[in-house]
Chain A
Amino acid sequence: MSIVRNFIQDWSRYRKGIEDGGFHEYEHMWGMVIDLDKCTGCNACSVACYAENNLAVVGEDYFAHGQAMHWMRIERYWDEPNLGDKASKDTQEHGASFMPMMCQQCNAATCEPVCPVAAAYHTPDGLNAQIYNRCIGSRYCANNCPYRLRYFNFYSYYETSWPSPLDMQLNPDITVRDKGVMEKCTFCVQRIRTAKSDAKMDDRKIQDGDIKTACQQTCPTSAIVFGDLMDHESDVHLLWHKHQTKLGTPKQDKKNPELRGYRLYEQLNTEPSVTYLERVREV
């Protein structure tokens, strides 16, 4: 019986947010907030990501096959299902809907358990890691990702994407992925690593703002906020708190359901670490 009781108790603890005593024994939990009302869809984040993360330029033909490597992509939708009949039929009255999409760093990731070689796994600080040198290219993870955020190197792009001297720009902090390797947004793990290393060298804790992801750093309207959800002073925690979004629940139990925070495809119980704030339009 104790086994059953343990199971039930732990299960409920598992289903709690980390803020409410859900499982999380590590000192960090990286999370993000993207304010869709501030996002202008300008693409700066996407190009910053190319620059930071050694993303290959695949060219028009491979792009047409859906093989582009944009870890951070801006999706644009023309319809506004939430506005219902307030949306106009013959003109784009409220502009377009932009969605910056990158790996949601799910805490119950669908990509991880299917990896036959454990190249995709979960780090204790809540990242959805991809270890390139372990990856054998089965592509199961990409198949299983409901967000379509994993990108596969169908070809070796090194020669075509970085003809000399473009290769001089490559960031030495990240591997250049070769043919047959799956890759995706890492929340700029190299910046996290460096910042943590620097903090430990100085015998101090990481402070909010020590780590900025490339997309966040360049975002002209500051729509992207990144930080440690375990740090209760951090901007990202305050925003999650303000909008009453929590980790560890497939359905947000908000006191005020009108608050803007939501996680994408939450109903799939993937537990993303990214909260989006709803876009606002005066209608």
Chain B
Amino acid sequence: MSNGKLDRRDFLKVMGVGGVAASVAACDGPSYITSEQGAEQVIPYLSPEEYVIPGKGVWYASTCLQCPAGCGVRGRVREGRVLKLEGNPDTSLNAGKLCQMGQAGLQNHYNPDRVTAPMIRDGGALKEATWEQALALIEEKTGPNSGISGSRFAWLTGPTSGHQGVLLKAHLEAMGSSNHFVHEVINTKVWQAVSRDMLGQSMPTLRLDKAKLVLSFGADFLGTWMSPIHFSGQYGKFRSAPDRGMLIQAEPSMTLTGANADLWVALRPGTEGILALGIANLLIHKEKMDASMLPAAARQLIDRYDVATTSSNTGVSGDRLVRIARHLKNKSPSLVIAGASAAGHAEGYQAVAAAMLLNMVLGNVGKTILPTNEFPFPQLKPIEGGTADLGRFAKALEAGQLDVVFYDGANPLFAAPGHLKLGEKLDAVPFKVAFSQFMDETTARADVVLPVASALEDWGTHVASYMGDETAISFQQPLMEPIFPGTRSTGDLLLALIKMRKPGPFDEIDDFYGYLQSAIGTIPGAIKGDGEDEINTQLWNHILQKGVLEVPAETTTFETSIPAITLSDHSDNAGYPYHLVPTPRAGFYDGRHANIPWLQEAPDQITKVVWNSWAELHPSMAARLGVEEGDIVKITAAGGVIEAMAYIHKGIHPEVVAVPMGQGHTEYGRYAQGRGVNPLSILDPGNDGKTGEMALYGTRIKVEATGRAGRLVKTGATETQHGRKIVATITGDQLRRTEGS
């Protein structure tokens, strides 16, 4: 331009100058906003910390509690408010990344439906009370003079770990009780049991990034399985050139992980084990892989599942089986994992064990499945949750064994199948106390509600159940002052309850923070100061800054063994010919996040539906029923009926109807209440024979059209690209030509 030439851009810019100059001329006009003086208050800090600068964000490290994975987070705090959460880059677990549930932790914290004051049931309804009244009532019912015997007291909690776990156990001990029921719908208990039996440890380290092929039997490791963000990070490396890995996913209905598979295989629910053994059969007999390490019984079992038997059971065509086996043979090392849809059956343990057997045949153990270091502090280890405890809890209630139940972090009345009749059984319990942030289904039927601080307002330590390479304790610290002064820290409450019940070692400790500091001080070499009972503040601050404390850990080795596996063939059920898959999704998870508006408005990854439930159907099933998208179908199981709008796609087995978990709340605040349906409510009774975990995927149903239609709200007007190059796809061969090694 300086040389006097003019191009089209300058021409446009000159036009812009005219606009700018004209606007500048017009910018002296008064505006009620700009001339506002003295209308707003600006209240300075009283005496701020050195590093607090108004207008500048400060980042504090903490731990995400949105799901049990235990990722590290950092919160941006400005003017005393936490504005944004990001992953903590100092952890190896999530390496600075976060999922949508983690991001939405803010709305859990700032939720307008939080319980803000203690409540006591009075004449049938919950009424607000003071903390003194609530604690006095608890003392009356559970204190030393209440006469309650320990065996009639129980805690029902979500998974916990670290020092909250220690306090929980201490409270149980003070109560003289051993009844601790730990409930978690989305869990990996069966995988852990199989790993323990076959490898000698329950949480082996998995290395997707080292695998050239991952074969997953319904393990939604990108969405809900084990530690999704950790595995997503590995997946990013796994998908990187030059050695881009291949992902094969076999499952009844497409999960987020399935949607990213190179080869997605629809299979009949409950036949995952057969598929695994069928592939093993092909590997041994067709691909001539060495199976000498297997005991004779296992080899005989594998021999039973030739291509024809496998194919007729699973519904997977023979040539596809051959293809999978060939890929497994060619791409070594591989990794075989099995998740919820494999484990959620009466023979769930057997199916997962069959998948692990495949790992042994393929020689993956020691290559992509590695021993995890031993976490050195057993008392801080995670207390894992599962669905088996819910069954045990229901049994204890049925037998009338419990007089007092405390809940924390669990909502069994929402997540329990209808056949357990948990609502009626709980109503018969004379005294129920809920430690709760929200008025969920369980809290609404409690006798005393204690409002607790949100995850961003509380202290804590967490030990992830899947730790991967780094053995660490993750710290949780308040990112801001409590929003509602009427809420209290769970740790403080536990301490108060322990002291209330029984004098003991906790009497000297004022609050949870003090306890945490003194407890961390006892960790050798951690923050113990020079003097007795003195902690090194510098180190303590360093830990809080970093958010994680790496602890020395001993390396371990595997002790492999192969249990007896028995699998029965798929059987038809004339009355209920189809299968129900209650899909867990990153988002609502098991329903705990349905009260978060961001997550309600975030479209489901697969169907893109918002604010509602839906029933996924295969086009062939839809054609048989004569339904189109949005038509309401009636899903009948032995245990009940639900109705949902149909969403039709090919990512589902033709004999399966999938309904997402999470919606169908009857309580739980303005965003969740009265939306959609809860598929967990109609589950058939049935447990995995070995672990006792509920057979979540074992429900048989029949499906009918109702003739009615609803409004299925989803994003995107089209399901196809109409031939445009929007998401362009190339083949693996092309990638190897351009970016291959």
Contact = CB atoms under 8 A, between A and B. Distances in A.
In the complex they form, whether A and B have CB atoms below 8 Å apart is answered with: yes
Interface of A: 6-7, 9-11, 13-14, 23, 35-38, 40-44, 46-48, 50-52, 57-60, 63-64, 66, 68, 70, 73-83, 86, 88, 90-99, 113, 118, 121, 134, 161, 163-166, 168-172, 214, 217-223, 256, 258-260, 262, 264-265, 276, 278-283
B46 interface: no
B715 A50 contact: no
Contact of B236 (A23, A60, A223, A281): A223
Contacts of A40: 222, 232, 235, 256-257, 259-260
Interface in B237-253: 239-240, 244, 246, 249
B729 to A, nearest CB: 5
Contacts of B19: 118
Nearest to A65: B713
B473 to A, nearest CB: 23
Interface of B: 5-9, 12, 16, 19-20, 23, 78-79, 81-87, 94, 96-100, 102-104, 106-107, 110-112, 222-223, 228-229, 232-233, 235-236, 239-240, 244, 246, 249, 254, 256-264, 266, 327, 483, 586-587, 597-603, 605-606, 608, 610-612, 619-620, 649-651, 711, 713, 715-721, 723-732, 734-735, 737-739
Contacts of A43: 100, 586-587, 602-603, 605
A82 B605 CA distance: 22
Nearest to B604: A43
Given A95-B254, A259-B738, A77 B611 contact: no
B70 to A, nearest CB: 15
Contacts of A164: 112
B264 A37 contact: no
A259 B735 CA distance: 8
Nearest to A217: B86
Contacts of A88: 650
Nearest to A3: B6
Given A95-B259, A221-B232, A10 B5 contact: yes
A170 B610 CA distance: 23
Nearest to A57: B597
Given A46-B602, A78-B649, A218-B86, A282 B262 contact: yes
Nearest to A5: B5
Given A60-B612, A82-B729, A169-B81, A42 B605 contact: yes
Nearest to A86: B731
A13 B7 contact: yes
Given A51-B104, A77-B719, A221-B233, 5 more contacts: A73-B603, A81-B725, A118-B19, A218-B103, A220-B232
Nearest to A73: B715
Contacts of A161: 597
Contact of B110 (A38, A41, A168): A168
Nearest to A220: B232
B97 A218 contact: yes
Closest 3 CB pairs of A and B: A10-B7, A220-B232, A221-B236
A147 to B, nearest CB: 10
Contacts of B82: 169
A168 B81 contact: yes
B711 to A, nearest CB: 6
Contacts of B721: 77, 79, 81, 97
A117 B599 CA distance: 36
Contacts of B240: 38
7 contacts: A36-B728, A92-B649, A161-B597, A168-B483, A169-B83, A218-B99, A280-B735
B731 A68 contact: no
A36 B717 CA distance: 21
A142 to B, nearest CB: 15
B97 A219 contact: yes
Nearest to A242: B739
A73 B725 CA distance: 18
Contact of A47 (B20, B86, B96, B599): B599
A154 to B, nearest CB: 15
Nearest to A48: B103
Contacts of B258: 95
A121, A168, A223: residue with the most chain B Cβ atoms closer than 10 Å: A168
A94 B731 CA distance: 11
Given A41-B259, A41-B605, A47 B727 contact: no
Given A63-B713, A77-B727, A6 B650 contact: no
Contacts of A98: 259-260, 605, 727
Contacts of B738: 256, 258-260
Contacts of B587: 43
A280 B78 contact: no
A221 B726 contact: no
A46 B60 CA distance: 23
Contacts of B229: 220
A9 B10 CA distance: 14
A281 B729 contact: yes
A74 B610 CA distance: 13
